């Protein structure tokens, strides 16, 4: 066996307690980008509730601090680090702050995206500046964050990177061409990063949510569109952020140590990958 590759799964000889630890994120340092609202906020709250040391890396200072305070009030540990994922200096400051505070980075959830604020429009009407901004945040931001955490994970010989993709890619949703294109790029990024980082004990996977309804209103979602979406799922009810939490938590545990380079749909059966 390659000596740099270790097996993380519990062996038959290990106790029930160590088996339980395999499904544990307690004391893991988890950086969640874009966690100031919506699905990212739910990841942050639930990782913290599960005992992780949660970092809110969010461009909106107010919301990042609000979510951190919410977690602390609930008895969890959270650190708000206002971060623009599209800016390499800001991302470098993020990793410096996290390592300074906690000494390591165990997992990165690349959740930040330009999404709920987007106006849906035919692709010919997308301004070039908006196209560039969406690709810069959604693709380059994920690259910059992965590049910044990787040395810390390599040094530890353990790490988890989770990229947040979208069901809009396999569905080929109309009128969001920059967004869909950006999310499609994350599949390739996930596959290639998994190959580059696997021998260092780092897994890289993508979660593919379906249409998920958060506390953030979206003008582009009509009642008819929502009903059609739900009718297309095997489980015909609206998807909520909590539906995505179990998969995100699992991918960051030792138990998921042999799963890498995968895009996993969590959408009530809207798509079949």
Ligand X SMILES: NC(=O)c1ccc[n+]([C@@H]2O[C@H](COP(=O)([O-])OP(=O)(O)OC[C@H]3O[C@@H](n4cnc5c(N)ncnc54)[C@H](O)[C@@H]3O)[C@@H](O)[C@H]2O)c1
Q: Which residues bind ligand X (CB under 6 A)?
A: 33-34, 36-40, 58-60, 63, 83-86, 111-116, 137, 141, 164, 166-167, 209, 211-212, 214, 216
- Residue 186 contacts by C-beta under 8 Å, 6 or more apart in sequence? 110, 138, 139, 142, 163, 164, 165, 206
| Closer Cβ to ligand X, 77 or 271, answer by number | 271
As given in the structure block, the two tokens for residue 26 are 């307690």
Strand partners, 183: none
Full DSSP string of 185-238: HHHHHHHHHHHHHGGGTEEEEEEEE-SB--SS--TT--HHHHHHHHHTSSS-S-
Full DSSP string of 80-99: E----TT-HHHHHHHHHHHH
- Kindly report the number of other CB atoms within 10 A of residue 187's CB atom: 18
62 CB burial (10 A radius; 0-12, 13-18, 19+): exposed
Cβ 166 to ligand X, closest distance in Å?
4
Cβ 185 to ligand X, closest distance in Å?
12
Is the distance from CB of 110 to CB of 33 less than 8 angstroms? Answer: yes
Cβ 77 to ligand X, closest distance in Å?
20
Which residues belong to the active site? 179
The kind and range of the H/E element at 13 are none
- Kindly report the number of other CB atoms within 10 A of residue 272's CB atom: 8
Cβ 40 to ligand X, closest distance in Å?
5
Cβ 60 to ligand X, closest distance in Å?
5
| Closer Cβ to ligand X, 10 or 206, answer by number | 206
């Amino acid at each position: 066996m390659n000596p740099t590759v270790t097996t993380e799964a519990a062996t038959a000889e290990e106790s029930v307690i160590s088996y339980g630890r395999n499904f544990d994120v307690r004391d893991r340092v988890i950086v969640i980008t874009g966690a100031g609202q919506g699905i990212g906020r739910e990841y942050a709250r639930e990782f913290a509730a599960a005992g992780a040391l949660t970092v809110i890396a969010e461009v909106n200072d107010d919301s990042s601090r609000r979510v951190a305070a919410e977690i602390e009030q609930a008895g969890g540990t959270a650190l708000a680090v206002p971060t623009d994922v599209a800016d390499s200096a800001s991302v470098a400051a993020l990793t410096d702050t996290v390592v300074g505070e906690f000494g390591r980075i165990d997992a990165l959830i690349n959740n930040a995206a330009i999404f709920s604020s987007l106006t849906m429009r035919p692709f010919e009407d997308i301004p070039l500046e908006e196209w560039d901004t969406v690709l810069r945040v959604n693709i380059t931001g994920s690259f910059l964050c992965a590049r910044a955490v990787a040395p810390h994970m390599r040094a530890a010989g353990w790490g988890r990177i989770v990229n947040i993709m979208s069901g809009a890619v396999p569905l080929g949703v109309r009128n969001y061409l920059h967004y869909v294109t950006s999310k499609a790029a994350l599949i390739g990024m996930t596959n290639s990063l998994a190959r580059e980082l696997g021998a260092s004990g780092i897994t890289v996977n993508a979660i593919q949510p379906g249409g998920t309804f958060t506390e953030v209103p979206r003008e582009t979602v009509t009642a008819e569109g929502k009903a059609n979406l739900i009718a297309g799922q095997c489980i015909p009810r609206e998807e909520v952020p909590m539906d995505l939490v179990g998969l995100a938590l699992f991918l960051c545990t030792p138990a998921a140590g042999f799963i890498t380079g995968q895009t996993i749909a969590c959408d009530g059966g809207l798509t079949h990958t």
